[in-house]
Each structure stands twice: as C-alpha cells, then as structure tokens.
Amino acid sequence: MNRSPYTSLSAPTHRHGASAVAMAILLFCVMLAAVGGAWAQQSLAAMDSYERLRDAMTEAPASGEERAALEAGATEAESNRDDSNGTADPLMTRAIDWDGLRAINPDIIAWIYVPGTPIDYPVVQAPASDPDRYLHTTFDGRVAYPNNEGTIHLDAQNAADGLNAASPVLYGHEQLNGSMFSAWRDNYDPEHLASCNQVYLYTPTTTFHVELFAANIVDATKERLYSDLTIEELQPWLDEKLAESEAVLAHPQNIKQLWTFVTCSYTTWRDQRTLSYGITVNRAPTSS
C-alpha cells in the first residue's frame, strides 16, 4: 500500500485538529443544552403561571357532559335557560374575577376559551405606545428570552373600540408545548378548523360567541392585516380573503364585524402565519 511521505507528519496535526473540533462540538452541545434547558424551564414556568391564574381567577367552563345534555335538549338544561339573552348555551356564562385580574395587569380586557383545546387564557389590550409589548411579556409582567409565550392580545389599533371594533385582530403564539394559539396552527385544514371553531370571549360586560368559518396561511413579510376597517369595507375585504383561503366552511354575507385570529405556523414560509376568520353568532350581557 502506498503511503504519503507526509502521513507521519500530518497525522499528529490531524489528531490535534480533530480533538479541537470535537471539543468545540462538545462545548456547543453543552451550550445548546443549557439554552434548551433554560427555554424549557421558562416555557414550563409560563404554562404553570397561566394554569395557576386560570384556577385562581376563573370558574371552570361547562363540561362536555353538560354541553351534550344541552344539545340533546335535556330537561335540566332547559330549566336553566336564560331568556334574557335568548340562549341556553352554558358556555355563555362563566364566573371570572375581573378585579383580581386587573390587580395583576390593568391591560386585561377579556378571557378567551375554545372548547376541546388548551385555549383558555386572559386577553390584554396592546398599548398604542408599545404595540409589540405582549409578544414576549406574560400576563404577570415577566419578560424572558427565548420565552415567546407572551400574552394573547388585541391589536393596538383596536384600542379605541376594543372588541366592539368592526375588525378586531387578536394575536397568540404557536408554541412547541401546545399552549396559546397552537391549536389553531393547522386551521388551514378544513377538517381541523371545523373541530375547533367555536370561540368564547368573556368581558366584564359582554360575552361573545364567535364561530370561525375560514382560514388561510400567509407570508407575514408580504401580508398586511387591517384592524381598522369600517363596516362598509368588511364584505369586500372578506370576499378577497376567502378567495385566497385554504379552508372555507361558510361564506357569510352582509357582515357587521369580522374577527381575525393570528398565529404562527411555519410550514411553507419562514414567517408564515395562519389567519382564522370568524363572525359573532351570539352576544349577551355578562351575568352579574
């Protein structure tokens, strides 16, 4: 076998180089593990924080059995009908400690709940002076990178009219742990959308039942969201969006309000977002 005359000279250099490379890789792995561990701890801490907040500040929503009984026309459900708002939907009523939530964060405006998903969180109003505050700030005010848990928030441009705006836009992250708006990442699939399209938004004065009817994926670097549309602008805008949507369960007409829920999805584009569109199907005063 022919051997290079330089093998014996180069080999030690190669071995030292290999050792240096191996050490660098090992160091990188250690650092990556440390960062990953820190992220996991922050993510778990945020999850635990929201779970404790939910337990302390809200009453558990009606169970699946209660809803099934209602849908079957059970006598008990009928006896609990609230004729003042014309509905027997038990999810339209939920006890929430608004004073307690305000004491933690005065930006609180609502609580969002989606049956059959982990979505059960406070909603805050993003301030006009700092519209991106809640991308990385949790409800209790913690800011920690790379924690992206943040807080579900209403677009800063909706601040004047809040959830009564003609085109409210709400943002929530898609998380590896399944929290926040992760359940809506795949809403561009019609079957998936139909499985999680009932949305309840509770406020101190009003409860909204919103039904999602369409969703599409967009490149966030090119797509523009409008949270300041007028009622007259809603239908043309919706018609345009439905023509682009992957999932369309219905095509409502003469709408007076259009809800848009935004989350990340990252399946086609690096800055991909899933936009889910909804309309209010029931609205009632909050029970005292």
Sites in the chain below the pLDDT cut of 50? 1-18, 21-44, 71, 73-86
Structural domain boundaries of the chain?
Answer: 32-59+94-285
pLDDT of res. 251: 97
What's the CA dihedral at 257, 261, 262, 263 to 10 degrees? -170
Strand partners, 201: 112, 208
- pLDDT by residue (tens digit) across 16-26? 444 554 444 44
Counting Cβ atoms within 10 Å, is residue 225 exposed (0-12), middle (13-18) or buried (19+)?
middle
Whether 181 and 173 have beta carbons less than 8 Å apart is answered as yes
Instruction: For domain 32-59+94-285, give the CATH number.
Output: 2.40.260.10
Give residue-wise pLDDT tens across range 181-215. Answer: 989 999 999 999 999 999 999 999 999 999 999 99
